[in-house]
Amino acid sequence: MQESVVPIRARNTVAASISPFRVATSLRLGDRVLTRCDDGVLLAEYALFDVSDIVLRATDPVTVREVGYMTTAGEALGRLERAGVTLDMTLEAAQAPGATSHVYSLTLDPIINVPVTKVWGGYVVFGPGFYHRSGKLDSSSAIPGSACNPFEVWWGHCFNSSLPVNGRFLNASQNEFGYNFGAGITRKIRPNLDFYAEFRYMHGKHNGITTDFRPITIGIRW
């Protein structure tokens, strides 16, 4: 069995500008650019590398210069872990500080009433449902193009297990089909007016992404 090795590269480029030299750096995973800085070096990212990972290139017969660093994903993750940067900490940092979300539902439910006394009663409901959910993250420190964590998969913007490279993943919406069922109790106020309290379980699914919620409703029905 052969182990697949994905190289991680930190690349330096030097360009002429108003100042004598301008240094641009980028961090790449395979052929994918993870981050880039056009006016300096990426300092924190160098925790992924060791001095032994340096890449040298001859620019002429007598000149050799540093052009970057290269290592494997496994070695880079090991160095981060030794520095105290764990996957759990990274996922926690990537979560948004706040968000809003809404679910609109349309259900078609028969009601089975169960009289108990002249005043009290109960009922059960069940049937299919259509759900439209939408939400907005206040902000996110997740890197466009990076691998999705479980929350981002559920959020619904992952493509091939990665976040969109265009960074458009703060807003999300999708339609789902599913079912619902529940039960409630009633207290008669007038001959054609009941006070009720109800609990339901709502479930929707689309492309393997599910939405589940359990509303408790108190109100008047007639």
Question: Taking all residues of the chain, what is their mean pLDDT, rounded to a whole number?
Answer: 78
Per-residue pLDDT band at 20 (split at 50, 70, 90): very low
Q: What is the pLDDT of residue 16?
A: 38
| pLDDT score of 3 more than 50 | no
Please state the rounded mean pLDDT for residues 144-165.
79
Out of 10-14, 105-109, 170-174, least confident range: 10-14
CATH for 99-221, options being 2.40.160, 1.20.272, 2.40.50, 1.10.287: 2.40.160
pLDDT in tens, 34-76: 677 776 666 656 667 777 777 777 777 777 777 777 888 778 7
Residues of the chain with CATH 2.40.160: 99-221
If you write DSSP's letter for every residue of the chain in order, what string do you get?
-PPP--EEEEEEEEE--SSS-EEEEEEEETTEEEEEESSS--SGGGGG--GGGEEEEEEETTEEEEEEEEEEHHHHHHHHHHTT--HHHHHHHHS-S-EEEEEEEEE---EEEEE-SSSEEEEEEEEEEEEEEEEEES---PPTTSBPPHHHHHHT--BTTB--TT---SEEEEEEEEEEEEEEEEEEEETTEEEEEEEEEEEEEETTEEEEE--EEEEEE-
